[in-house]
Amino acid sequence: MRSGEIRAAALELFARHGYEATTMADIGAAVGIRGPSLYKHVKSKQDLLAQVMTETMGELLAAHHTAVATTTDPVERLRRATEAHVRYHARHRLEAFVGNREIRSLTEPSLGRLLAMRAEYETCFRDLVNAGITANRFHVTSARLTSYAILDLGMGVAAWYREDGELSEDAVTWQYGEFALRLAGA
């Protein structure tokens, strides 16, 4: 329980003030623990950042695999993967923000692990596009560029989407699925 509270407080503070400007005392104050006492629960501020970022990538990878698991149709697989990507970013805006902005603050070996996870995630999308090209369902000149564009679309949702906004989460995810298929030349 305590570690979850600490992680949530760190995430909020990293998003609001940035990793460098956030101290362990700030995180401790947010959960009602003196800064030095935090070290009974977490190893370091760097470990908190690494935990937030690697858990986020792990969740994205798991959501992707779940989304594409029940169909072999390349068009449907890309739609489902894109919708899972967009839905995650709509629901986890702080994680997306911190994950993109604070990668520069991550140190080795956590940085290497995170970059490998990010590369794996991009490869998942590129493989979907390549499968669609092979099946003559997608028509693009670069599967890599297409996968980057689709990923950027989804990450952008974290910046503007709000639950009480004009469009529902389902409407946004469906429309972004359509955008991805257009990008892939379906």
Q: How many domains does the chain have?
A: 2
Residues 87 and 148 reside in one and the same domain: yes
> Which DSSP symbol is given to 37?
G
- Total-model pTM: 0.94
pLDDT score, position 37? 82
What CATH number has the domain bearing residue 50?
1.10.357.10
Q: How far apart are CA 43 and CA 84, in angstroms?
A: 32
State the residue for tokens 């990923």. Answer: 151
What CATH number has the domain bearing residue 9?
1.10.10.60
Q: Using 50, 70 and 90 to split pLDDT, how confident is the model at 1?
A: low
Residues 107 and 143 reside in one and the same domain: yes
Per-residue pLDDT tens over the stretch 21-80:
999 999 999 999 986 788 889 999 999 999 999 999 999 999 999 999 999 999 999 999
Give the residue-averaged pLDDT of 128-151. Answer: 97
Per-residue pLDDT tens over the stretch 142-180:
999 999 999 999 999 999 999 999 999 999 999 999 999
List, in order, residues 6 or more apart from 180 with CB less than 8 Å away: 78, 79, 82, 150, 153
Residues 142 and 124 reside in one and the same domain: yes
Residues 81 and 13 reside in one and the same domain: no
Please give the residue range of the domain that contains residue 150. Answer: 44-183
Count the alpha carbons within 13 Å of 165 in the hemisphere toward its beta carbon: 14
Residues 60 and 96 reside in one and the same domain: yes
pLDDT score, position 163? 95
Residues 74 and 22 reside in one and the same domain: no
Residues 71 and 54 reside in one and the same domain: yes
Residues 17 and 93 reside in one and the same domain: no
Q: Please determine, for residue 123, whether its predicted confidence score (pLDDT) is greater than 90.
A: yes
Residues 93 and 119 reside in one and the same domain: yes
pLDDT score, position 109? 97
| Cis peptide upstream of residue 109 (ω within 30 degrees of 0) | yes
Q: Please determine, for residue 18, whether its predicted confidence score (pLDDT) is greater than 60.
A: yes
Residues 75 and 88 reside in one and the same domain: yes
What the block records as the tokens of 162 is: 């709000």
